[in-house]
Amino acid sequence: MDSVWLQTVQLPKFAPLRSDLKTDVLIIGGGMAGLLCAYRLAQAGVDCALVEADRIGSGITKNTTAKISAQHGLICHKLIQRFGAERARLCLEANLGALEAYRKLCREFDCDFEEKDAFVYSRDSRRKVERELAALERLGFPAVCSENLPLPFPVAGAVKFPRQAQFHPLKFIAALAKPLRIFEYTKVLELAPGRAVTHAGTISADKIIAATHFPLLNKHGGYFLKLYQHRSYVLSLKNAPDVCGMYLDADKKGLSFRNYGDLLLLGGGSHRTGRQGGGWQELTRFARSRYPDAQETARWATQDCMSLDEIPYIGPYSQRTPGLYVAAGFNKWGMTSSMAAAGILTDLVLGRDNPYAAVFSPARTILRPQLAVNGLLSALGLLTPTVPRCPHMGCALKYNAAEHSWDCPCHGSRFGEDGTLIDNPAADDKKKM
């Protein structure tokens, strides 16, 4: 079933590329990150073009819960431990700046923008909440503790970020995209320095931004080691309460809540792609138990790229690919991270200093515990002697009965039952076995 966003918008259509093209900057990927990069560059007077293999917003953007928040879980305590207080402050500041950039843009676009307080709650650990509040106080951010939340269960405590926001992401990109030079149904088949080859022709560009969710070049940057993918699920419920805010469990397997109009969007059931998890079944059980009068109006799933250290990779693709940039690993916070990425990459393309570039640099260390987990699961996927196998790097695919798809537990590629590619990093359909 389509998300509520797809059910309530008509996106503009753009013709595919039909010949060779020369542009100063090429953006690959028509999701929120790519479109915001194109918009910011165009506003700066840069000659740029964007290509999308399908329709704009047809990937992860159409399936987001569309929260615009600088609160990305109980994360600031961890960032201070890993990177120090100054880098943690810069990371928070970059996301607060992204929120303000949305606030300004959404005054121009009719996209159901609403200011809402955001909460990350813990059901069993007051200590986690107090530790995060102490970290935020150290960073100079005025977060507060909340205890009595309008949720159908008690909590030990919650960290409240005031005046965050939510919106309709596809209404937003429908307005954002109209003045841009966009080519839909234009798939990049080959990428080389200064050029991208498509079915219809070659695009020459001085600089290229890869905003393709999972980076498309395997042999540079090591993103197949630095990233893994996570699926999560959403139910849209009518005749459910207005929770008057945006809520997320500090536990990665917990639930999220937000309203859109007269609907409650209930999220959760998450798991690593290709592994077992709660899925829609978990959400349905919860809704029946806690909201017995509610009726389901839509259900959908999304997929997020997760980095090794909970900070996205935004900046030069690798040391060996001059003029190529990347935005990936948004860790379930794609809306805010997309805007932060657009600001950083616009500055880098224009040769300007950006105070946040070093924090988000893809060249930072990969020596994190998650690296060993990713490597182990990839080795298991490669050594599993079953078929079918993923054309990306040869891992054994797992059947996802809930979504009728074949999913890769190594890097998150997904395929329909007929072998059609659904989610990258694979670039081709699965071969029929």
Same domain, 295 and 333: no
| All residues at 6 or more sequence positions from 317 whose CB lies less than 8 Å from its CB, including other chains | 210, 215, 217, 220, 221, 324, 325, 326, 362
> How many CB atoms lie under 10 A from the CB of residue 93?
18
The DSSP symbol for 63 reads G
| 153 found inside a domain | no
Residue where one domain finishes, among candidates 342, 360, 378? 360
Tokens 């001085």 correspond to what residue? 206
Phi then psi dihedrals of residue 35, to 5 deg = -65, -40
With contact defined as beta carbons under 8 Å apart, do 342 and 33 qualify? yes
| 110 found inside a domain | no
With contact defined as beta carbons under 8 Å apart, do 309 and 82 qualify? yes
> How many CB atoms lie under 10 A from the CB of residue 179?
11
- CA dist 380 and 361 (Å) reads 30
CATH, residue 315 = 3.50.50.60
- CA dist 231 and 251 (Å) reads 15
Range of the domain at 256: 228-306
Tokens for 75, please give them.
């994360």
| 154 found inside a domain | no
With contact defined as beta carbons under 8 Å apart, do 302 and 231 qualify? yes
Same domain, 318 and 250: no
Same domain, 331 and 297: no
| 315 found inside a domain | yes
- CA dist 211 and 33 (Å) reads 6
| All residues at 6 or more sequence positions from 134 whose CB lies less than 8 Å from its CB, including other chains | 77
| 320 found inside a domain | yes
| All residues at 6 or more sequence positions from 84 whose CB lies less than 8 Å from its CB, including other chains | none
Same domain, 183 and 249: no
pLDDT of residue 431: 67
Rounded to the nearest 10 degrees, the angle between the axes of helix 126-139 and helix 76-83 is 60
Task: Render each residue's pLDDT in the chain as its tens digit; 433 residues.
Answer: 799 999 999 999 999 999 999 999 999 999 999 999 999 999 999 999 999 999 999 999 999 999 999 999 999 999 999 999 999 999 999 999 999 999 999 999 999 999 999 999 999 999 999 999 999 999 999 889 999 999 999 999 999 999 999 999 999 999 999 999 999 999 999 999 999 999 999 999 999 999 999 998 988 999 999 999 999 999 999 999 999 999 999 998 899 999 999 999 999 999 999 888 899 999 999 999 999 999 999 999 999 999 999 999 999 999 999 999 999 999 999 999 999 999 999 999 999 999 999 999 999 999 999 999 888 888 888 888 888 888 888 888 988 888 888 999 888 899 988 889 899 898 888 765 4
Same domain, 413 and 275: no
pTM: 0.95
Residues, the chain, total?
A: 433
Phi then psi dihedrals of residue 41, to 5 deg = -65, -45
Same domain, 345 and 241: no
The DSSP symbol for 55 reads S
With contact defined as beta carbons under 8 Å apart, do 310 and 254 qualify? no
The DSSP symbol for 62 reads G
Number of structural domains in the chain: 3
Numbers of helices and strands, H then E, in the chain: 11, 21
Q: Count CA within 13 A, CB hemisphere, residue 130.
A: 5
Return left, alpha or beta for 428; rule: phi > 0 is left, psi -120 to 50 is alpha, else beta.
beta
Same domain, 44 and 180: yes
pLDDT of residue 13: 97
Phi then psi dihedrals of residue 372, to 5 deg = -65, -40
Beta-bridged to residue 296, according to DSSP, are 237
Same domain, 295 and 257: yes
> How many CB atoms lie under 10 A from the CB of residue 222?
14
| 260 found inside a domain | yes
Same domain, 334 and 216: yes
Tokens for 347, please give them.
């500055």
> How many CB atoms lie under 10 A from the CB of residue 161?
23
| All residues at 6 or more sequence positions from 219 whose CB lies less than 8 Å from its CB, including other chains | none
| All residues at 6 or more sequence positions from 262 whose CB lies less than 8 Å from its CB, including other chains | 238
| 214 found inside a domain | yes
Alpha-carbon distances, residue 68 vs 167, 334, 346 (angstroms): 8, 9, 20
Same domain, 341 and 390: no
Same domain, 235 and 301: yes
Residue where one domain finishes, among candidates 360, 380, 402? 360
Q: Count CA within 13 A, CB hemisphere, residue 117.
A: 17
Same domain, 242 and 293: yes
pLDDT of residue 433: 44
| 57 found inside a domain | yes
CATH, residue 398 = 2.102.10.10
